[in-house]
Amino acid sequence: MNHLVAPSILAADFANLQRDIEMINQSSADWVHVDVMDGVFVPNISFGFPVVKAVKKYAQKPLDVHLMIVEPDHYLENFKDAGAAGITVHYEVCPNLHRTIQHIKELGCRAGVALNPHTPVALLEDIIIDLDMVLIMSVNPGFGGQKFIGNTYKKLKDVKALSRRYNPEMLIEVDGGVDEHNAVKLIDAGASVLVAGNSVFSAPDPSAAIAYLKHPSGSSRS
Ligand code: DX5
Ligand code: ZN
């Protein structure tokens, strides 16, 4: 399967969000990655519903909403109403994960589960059949621009093996420190969705950076 690219607007210029979203619209990006942080699950606060709605107003690509918040069940409908096409919750904050996943699906959204760097992939064995996507965090969640954690390759291979066994259609997203240097290796390890914040928005030509991630040289995958 051809991989997808999801630029993270956490690294966009919030004073020029419309401009940056229009850049994404014109680019070869597949989704817009939207990072919601609550200052409780992660030591940072990003933005909430009004900003997601504003992004949705201009975005022509599906919103891939990554919830780094505790008790996400309370807010799933709000994010659906704000324009989410997919909602990803963190394994670490969902004591009734199966129920949460069913709820996301009932809302008509793609259901994802994210794993922090320390959370073992094996914990997904009894839920993976219900998932549309697994998000492997390749940094500790909370901030853009952090250093990529090398153990991610092993985790991607592990989740790919589980996926082959139980749910071959499931997407595998990788998030944090993704750039032009590791893209091919991440795809080879099993990633089917690349999230990229700083490597896109700090590039001299963000649209070209997205195009590169979509068609990394040396890769037969496009
Ligand atoms: C981190 C977020 C990421 C972040 C990635 O907590 O989940 O989506 O925006 O940013 P970069 O690509 O700069 O590491
Ligand atoms: Zn994210």
Tokens at 23, concatenated: 């850049």
The question of whether 205 is a catalytic residue gets the answer no
| Residue 13 reports pLDDT greater than 50 | yes
Mean pLDDT confidence for 100-127: 98
The question of whether 126 is a catalytic residue gets the answer no
Cβ neighbors of 135 (< 8 A, separation 6 or more) are 66, 88, 112, 113, 114, 115, 173, 174, 175, 195
Angle between helices 17-26 and 49-58 (to 10 degrees): 40
From 46, 116, 135, 146, give the residue whose CB has the most ligand 1 atoms within 8 Å, as the site to mutate.
146
C-alpha pair distances (Å), 201 with each of 17, 164, 195: 12, 34, 12
Considering the domain 4-214 in this protein, what is its CATH number? 3.20.20.70
Q: Are 202 and 168 in contact (CB under 8 A)?
A: no
Q: What is the percent of the chain where pLDDT is above 70?
A: 97
36 strand-pairing partners: 67
Ligand 1 — pocket residues by CB below 6 A? 8, 10-11, 33, 35, 66, 139, 141-146, 175-178, 195-199
Q: Which of the 8 DSSP states describes residue 54?
A: H
**Listed range (121-125, 136-140, 181-185, 215-219) with the worst mean pLDDT:** 215-219
Q: What is residue 216's three-state secondary structure? A: coil
- Compute, in angstroms, the gap from residue 66 CA to the centroid of ligand 2: 5
| Residue 1 reports pLDDT greater than 60 | yes
- Residue-level pLDDT at 62: 99
- Over residues 180-222, the pLDDT tens digits come to 999 999 999 999 999 999 999 999 999 999 999 999 975 555 4
Q: Which atom of ligand 1 is nearest to the CA of 66?
A: 7
Mean pLDDT confidence for 4-13: 98
> Mean pLDDT score of the chain, rounded to an integer?
97
- Over residues 15-39, the pLDDT tens digits come to 999 999 999 999 999 999 999 999 9
| Residue 80 reports pLDDT greater than 80 | yes
- Residue-level pLDDT at 31: 99
